[in-house]
């Protein structure tokens, strides 16, 4: 979305205007705003996040890397085209399929206005309105609190807007963007925000990003930010169900692969289990002290040295678990041993669950207490022949 970056360009890209010194923000101001949101996400771990006025969706893209978020929604009157978003970095990549997330993630972009009510936006944990309100005319600004605070009523709302007290430090003494309907000083923003917070039973704290240069500290941050938190009493009240009302047009939606889906869990678990057992098997084969039939494998050859980072405690746990063994040309790794491997243990929390999943994908021994693999495969035969 050109508009946004244009919007930031005067302050972020330091256009040369001879009359006044250029103010350079490092990192650029728009990034400081996004980092501010990311920090709050890290702190509060919201599951459902909506960005109103998402622009070019950079913030949404940055937020998709937060594993706590399961629903990420953007709303913008502009919103672009479906094909634009399909080929964007909002769609899952090959890497997302190879290493699925622990939890589901859906990203949905809607075309619509932040001052229209759509029931799909009700009950979010966090809503962000980054450089949005100054684009609303007086009529829309008047509707905004009732929709966002009253109807959507998320747990936390972040609103950022230009601080006009900073503007005299810029070369041009106009609004920061042509589409801005107003730019408020700190008193104006804080009065509006406090009134809204009181009316809808939120508390609000003020801060900002983009520190003023030395000597101009009195003007405050370049971007002023209000962080609103819903007071608890209101939270229970708003649990009353909201009638469905779909007003926004969906322009893009995508679901990321996750371990919540059984087929992904099976794939990742099987790969992890095979990696661990393969490592044990190969070391068993090359161990000169081994006897093949039914002999317990020596201690240190059962703990893979490569590809796994294990602490001393984890290693001790692995070593004290039942040992792999060999019968004929088959190599067996007890499930009780496999589950001690941190990467396996992260995926399943009990031997029963491990058994039930592996029995669908891999070969287990008769009493289903151990994974069974061939002692020699093509690779190990080739390796041993050298």
For the segment 86-125, give every residue that binds ligand SAH (CB under 6 A).
113-115
Least spacing, CB of residue 50 vs ligand SAH, in Å: 11
In the chain, count H helices and then E strands. Answer: 14, 11
Q: Distance (Å, rounded) from C-alpha 21 to C-alpha 12?
A: 14
Tell me the closest approach of the beta carbon of residue 211 to ligand SAH, in angstroms.
Answer: 19
* Contact flag: residue 222 with ligand SAH (CB under 6 A): no
Interaction mask 59-78, ligand SAH, x per CB under 6 A? ----------------xxxx
Q: Is 319 in the site for ligand SAH (CB under 6 A)?
A: no
Q: DSSP label at 67?
A: T
Cα separation, 251 vs 81, whole angstroms: 6
Rule CB under 6 A: say whether 1 interacts with ligand SAH. Answer: yes
Rounded Cα gap, residues 175 and 135, in angstroms: 11
Strand partners of residue 129: 159
Q: Which is nearer to ligand SAH, 1 or 103 (CB)?
A: 1
* Cα dihedral across residues 305, 309, 312, 318: positive or negative: negative
Taking the least distance from each CB to ligand SAH, the nearer of 117 and 135 is 135
Binding of residue 30 to ligand SAH (CB under 6 A) = yes
Interactions with ligand SAH, residue window 133-152 (CB under 6 A) = 135-136, 140
Sole window of 52-60, 64-72, 317-325, 346-354 interacting with ligand SAH (rule: CB under 6 A): 52-60
Cα–Cα distance measured from residue 324 to residue 302, given in angstroms and rounded to the nearest whole number? 7
Nearest-approach distance from CB 37 to ligand SAH, in angstroms: 9
Q: Are the C-beta atoms of residues 125 and 49 closer than 8 Å to each other? A: yes
Instruction: Give first-to-last CA distance, the chain, whole Å.
Output: 60
Among 11, 29, 32, 55, binds ligand SAH (CB under 6 A): 55
Cα angle vertex 245, ends 240, 251, to 5°?
Answer: 125
Question: Rounded CA gap, 21 and 212, in Å?
Answer: 13
Task: For residue 75, give both structure tokens.
Answer: 């709303």
Which of residues 114 and 268 has its CB atom nearest to ligand SAH in the complex?
114
Contact with ligand SAH (CB under 6 A): which of 130, 148, 335, 338?
A: 130
Binding site for ligand SAH (CB under 6 A): 1, 3-4, 7, 30, 52-55, 75-78, 113-115, 130-132, 135-136, 140
């Amino acid at each position: 979305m050109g508009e946004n970056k244009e919007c930031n360009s005067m302050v972020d890209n330091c256009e040369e205007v001879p009359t006044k010194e250029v103010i350079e923000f490092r990192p650029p101001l728009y990034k400081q705003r996004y980092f501010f949101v990311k920090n709050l996400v890290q702190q509060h771990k919201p599951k459902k996040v909506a960005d109103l006025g998402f622009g070019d969706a950079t913030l949404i893209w940055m937020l998709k890397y937060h594993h706590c978020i399961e629903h990420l929604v953007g709303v913008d009157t502009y919103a672009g085209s479906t094909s634009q978003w399909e080929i964007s970095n909002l769609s899952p990549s090959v890497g997302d399929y190879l290493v699925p997330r622990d939890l589901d993630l859906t990203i949905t972009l809607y075309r619509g206005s932040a001052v229209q009510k759509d029931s799909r936006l009700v009950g979010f944990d966090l809503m962000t309105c980054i450089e949005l309100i100054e684009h609303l005319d007086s009529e829309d600004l008047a509707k905004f609190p009732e929709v966002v605070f009253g109807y959507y009523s998320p747990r936390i709302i972040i609103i950022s807007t230009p601080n006009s007290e900073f503007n005299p430090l810029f070369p041009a003494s106009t609004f920061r963007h042509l589409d801005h309907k107003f730019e408020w000083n700190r008193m104006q923003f804080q009065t509006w925000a406090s009134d809204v917070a009181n009316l809808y039973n939120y508390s609000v704290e003020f801060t900002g990003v983009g520190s003023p240069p030395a000597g101009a500290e009195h003007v405050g941050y370049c971007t002023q930010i209000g962080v609103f938190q819903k007071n608890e009493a209101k939270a229970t009240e708003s649990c009353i169900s909201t009638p469905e009302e779909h007003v926004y047009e969906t322009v893009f939606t995508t679901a990321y692969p996750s371990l919540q889906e059984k087929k992904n869990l099976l794939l990742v678990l099987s790969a992890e289990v095979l990696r661990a057992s393969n490592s044990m098997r190969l070391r068993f084969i090359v161990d000169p002290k081994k006897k093949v039939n039914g002999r317990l494998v020596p201690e240190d050859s059962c703990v893979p040295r490569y590809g796994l980072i294990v602490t001393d405690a984890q290693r001790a746990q692995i070593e004290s678990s039942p040992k792999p063994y060999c019968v004929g040309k088959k190599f067996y790794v007890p499930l009780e041993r496999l589950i001690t491997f941190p990467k396996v243990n992260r995926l399943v929390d009990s031997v029963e669950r491990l058994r039930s999943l592996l029995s669908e994908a891999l070969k287990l021994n008769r009493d289903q207490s151990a994974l069974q693999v061939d002692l020699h495969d093509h690779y190990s035969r080739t390796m041993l022949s050298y």
